[in-house]
Structure 1
Amino acid sequence: MRLDPVVQQSTPMMIAARVREAIAQGDFAPGAQLFEAELARQLGVSRGPLREGLQRLTQEGLLVSIRNRGLFVVHLTADDVRDMYLARGAIERGAAAVVVARDPVGTADALEPVLEQMAQAAEAGDSRGVADADIRFHEVLVARSGSARLARVHATQVTEARICIQALGSTHSTDEVRLAEHRRIADALRAGDADLVDSLLARHMADAVADLVELSETSPLPETSPLPETSPESASRH
Structure 2
Amino acid sequence: MRKAQRRSLGQEAADRVRDAVFAGYFAPGAPLREVELAASLEISRGSVREGLARLEQEGLVRSVWHRGTRVIELSAADVDEVYTVRAALERLAFATAAGRIDASALAGLDGVVDGMARSLAEGADGPALLALDMDFHDRVYEAAANRRLLDAWHAVRSQVYLFQLTRIARDDAEYRGILVGEHRELAGLLRRGDTACLAVAAEEHVDSARRRLVRILADTGTTEA
TM-score by length of 1: 0.81
Pairwise mapping of residues 42-191 of structure 1 onto structure 2 (< 5 A)? 42-103=40-101, 105-123=103-121, 124-169=123-168, 170-191=171-192
Question: Do the aligned partners of 1:131 and 1:166 also contact (CA within 8 Å) in 2?
Answer: yes
Matched residue count? 214
2:131 alignment partner AA: D
What is aligned with 2:3?
Answer: none
Distance 1:130 1:24 in 2: 13
Distance 2:190 2:66 in 1: 51
Distance 2:78 2:126 in 1: 23
What is aligned with 1:194?
Answer: 195
Distance 1:120 1:141 in 2: 21
| 5+ long unaligned stretches in structure 1 | 1-8, 222-238
Question: Do the aligned partners of 1:23 and 1:159 also contact (CA within 8 Å) in 2?
Answer: no
Q: CA deviation at 1:112?
A: 1.6
Alignment RMSD: 2.1
Q: CA deviation at 1:173?
A: 4.8
Q: CA deviation at 1:125?
A: 4.3
What is aligned with 2:32?
Answer: 34
2:210 match: secondary structure: helix
TM-score by length of 2: 0.86
Question: Do the aligned partners of 2:94 and 2:140 also contact (CA within 8 Å) in 1?
Answer: yes
Pair 1:171–1:74, CA change in 2 (3 A) = closer
Distance 1:98 1:61 in 2: 26
Distance 2:187 2:147 in 1: 22
- Which of 2, 19, 22 is the matching residue for 2:20? 22
Question: Do the aligned partners of 1:100 and 1:192 also contact (CA within 8 Å) in 2?
Answer: yes
What whole-Å deviation, never above 9, does each CA across 1:172-197 have from its counterpart, x for those lacking one? Answer: 45313122111111111111111121
Distance 2:163 2:206 in 1: 12
Pairwise mapping of residues 202-213 of structure 1 onto structure 2 (< 5 A)? 202-213=203-214
| 5+ long unaligned stretches in structure 2 | 1-6
Worse overlay, 9-18 or 95-104: 9-18
Distance 1:145 1:23 in 2: 29
Residue identity (%): 32
Question: Do the aligned partners of 2:14 and 2:54 also contact (CA within 8 Å) in 1?
Answer: yes
Runs of 4+ off more than 4 Å: none
1:65 match: secondary structure: strand
What whole-Å deviation, never above 9, does each CA across 1:69-89 have from its counterpart, x for those lacking one? Answer: 322100132121111112212
Distance 2:70 2:40 in 1: 18
2:96 match: secondary structure: helix
Q: CA deviation at 1:25?
A: 4.0
Q: CA deviation at 1:26?
A: 3.6
1:217 alignment partner AA: A
1:141 alignment partner AA: V
Distance 1:91 1:27 in 2: 30
2:63 match: secondary structure: strand
What whole-Å deviation, never above 9, does each CA across 1:128-165 have from its counterpart, x for those lacking one? Answer: 11111111111111111112222222123221111111
Distance 2:198 2:147 in 1: 21
Question: Do the aligned partners of 2:22 and 2:162 also contact (CA within 8 Å) in 1?
Answer: yes
Distance 1:81 1:11 in 2: 31
